[in-house]
Amino acid sequence: MRDHSHPAVAFHAVALVAAARSALNAARQIGDRRAGRDASEQEPVGSARADLGELWAELGAHVVRLRLRVVTGVPESPAAALAQAFEDRTLLDDLGRTVGVIHQKLLSLYPAVGEVVVEEARRLAVEARRRAVADAYDVGLAAFVARVSDLRDALRDTLGEGV
């Protein structure tokens, strides 16, 4: 009988999930291109604001998960540590995509939205993507999460309480 706590089992599961995520992302990008959606285009203000409202909620979910990660630390089991590291990197990758889209939407609202908020969104998107592939992704994670939370607050302040 196979030992399900062996790290190789976790590795195979992680590889399968990574492949499925890559395929899903590729399918979404192809669908966007076929639908004529181009992230580099200026959007109507109403559409960008509505999308930012949804992205604001999504960003909040990422912040909660990252805060929990900071508190829980690394599991003792090698298989659990591998799974946790994969989940952390997946979360950081998702966060990078979300904040990248937020940055694009904020550009559609510029100059009504302050330059500082737009630039911080760009920097956080880059840092989240860098952390997702870094060896020491969790170094300074608490401070990074605080910056993401601050961006979320700035979005609420910029877009109004109705977000």
Q: How far apart are CA 67 and CA 149, in angstroms?
A: 10
Q: How far apart are CA 155 and CA 49, in angstroms?
A: 10
Give the dihedral sign, CA 14/20/23/24: negative
0.85 cut: is pTM over it?
no
Identify whether 131 is part of a domain.
yes
The string of DSSP letters for 18-32 reads HHHHHHHHHHHHHHH
Identify whether 27 is part of a domain.
no
Identify whether 11 is part of a domain.
no
> Left (φ > 0), alpha (ψ -120 to 50) or beta: where does 134 sit?
beta
Domain enclosing residue 136, as ranges: 42-159
Identify whether 88 is part of a domain.
yes
Identify whether 136 is part of a domain.
yes
Q: How many domains does the chain have?
A: 1
Residue 89 contacts residue 19 (beta carbons within 8 Å): no
How does pLDDT run across 11-50, given as a tens digit for each residue? 666 666 667 666 666 676 677 667 666 666 677 888 888 8
Identify whether 125 is part of a domain.
yes
